[in-house]
């Protein structure tokens, strides 16, 4: 994931976890944030859910290395979770909704598995509010290309704009949203990641060259070499009650 996982991605929900809670982390990746949830209080049981079985395997190995026995990981369709209706106390997700082709379906599914009065905690990016200094013409062009690539893969780089609305429409109550800026990766590292993603996507399936992405990749190449700067990503954090 371009935005990366930070150890404090679950910081907005950790103080709300209570002993005995049944917690899920949907779209958990390799489990870094799931492990922080699993050690938040005792006793607590956390299940990380990821569609990619390889990621689940890596997450299980990470839990063993960290000696965290309060977490488990399962592979599943993220819009059709392997949990009974009204069986979960806290449903958490970070960095998923901007990548999933049907984020509203995921939110509806989280509503299904949460018990009445259960807590929803989701966090997703809004690239329109990202802070980059300097923000040159090359930076703008490279990010536009990367956002095009993001949309082509079925995601929404501006999902943070609408996440509170999606949660309200799914029937949640007491919806609270706030923007938080995080410096998960540096300015130059962001440039390198964007350049790598665009360069890998230039060749189309029929062997042709995608000129729009090629132009964005050239801008990213220049961005990498333009020098250092500052980058903070805007994450929209939403808490709501089932």
Q: Are 240 and 176 in contact (CB under 8 A)?
A: yes
Q: Structural domain boundaries of the chain?
A: 14-241
> How far apart (Å, rounded) are the C-alpha atoms in residues 130 and 227?
19
- The predicted pLDDT at position 205 comes to 76
Indicate whether 2 pLDDT > 70.
no
- What pLDDT is recorded for position 111? 98
* pLDDT number for residue 203: 86
For residue 5, is pLDDT > 60?
Answer: no
Task: Write down the pLDDT at residue 50.
Answer: 97
Domain 14-241 = CATH 3.40.50.150: yes
pLDDT of residue 3: 53
Q: Pseudo-torsion of CA 56, 62, 65, 71, nearest 10°?
A: -70
What is the pLDDT averaged over residues 149-162?
Answer: 96
Q: Which residues contact 176 (CB under 8 A, 6 or more apart)?
A: 238, 239, 240
pLDDT tens, 170-205?
A: 999 999 999 999 998 999 999 999 999 999 999 877
Over range 145-156, report the average pLDDT: 96
- Enter the pTM of the model: 0.93
CB distance 7 to 38 below 8 Å? no
- Is the confidence at residue 4, as pLDDT, over 70? no
Identify the pLDDT of residue 108: 98
Query: Would you say residue 140 has pLDDT above 60?
Result: yes
Taking the C-alpha atoms of residue 73 and residue 59, their distance in angstroms, rounded to an integer, is 7
pLDDT higher than 90, residue 121: yes
Q: What average pLDDT does this structure show over 60-80? A: 95
Average pLDDT rounded to a whole number, residues 113-133 = 97
């Amino acid at each position: 994931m371009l935005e990366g996982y930070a150890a404090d991605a679950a910081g907005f929900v950790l103080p709300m976890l209570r002993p005995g809670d049944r917690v899920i982390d949907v779209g958990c990746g390799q489990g870094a944030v799931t492990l922080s949830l699993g050690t938040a209080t005792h006793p607590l049981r956390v299940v990380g859910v990821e569609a990619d079985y390889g990621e689940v395997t890596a997450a299980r190995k990470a839990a063993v290395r960290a000696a965290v026995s309060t977490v488990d990981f399962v592979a599943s369709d993220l819009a059709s979770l392997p949990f009974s209706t009204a069986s979960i106390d806290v449903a958490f997700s970070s960095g998923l909704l901007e990548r999933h082709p049907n984020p509203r379906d995921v939110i509806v599914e989280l509503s299904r598995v949460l018990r009445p009065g259960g807590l929803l905690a989701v966090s997703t990016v809004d690239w329109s509010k990202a802070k980059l200094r300097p923000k040159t013409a090359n930076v703008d062009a490279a990010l536009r290309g990367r956002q095009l690539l993001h949309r082509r893969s079925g995601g929404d780089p501006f999902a943070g704009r609408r996440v509170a609305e999606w949660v309200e429409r799914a029937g949640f109550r007491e919806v609270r949203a706030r923007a938080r800026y995080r410096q998960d990766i540096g300015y130059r590292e962001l440039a390198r990641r964007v350049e790598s993603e665009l360069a890998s996507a230039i060749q189309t399936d029929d062997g042709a060259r995608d000129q729009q992405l090629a132009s964005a990749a050239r801008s990213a190449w220049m961005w990498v070499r333009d020098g250092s700067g500052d980058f903070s990503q805007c994450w929209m954090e939403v808490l709501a009650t089932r």
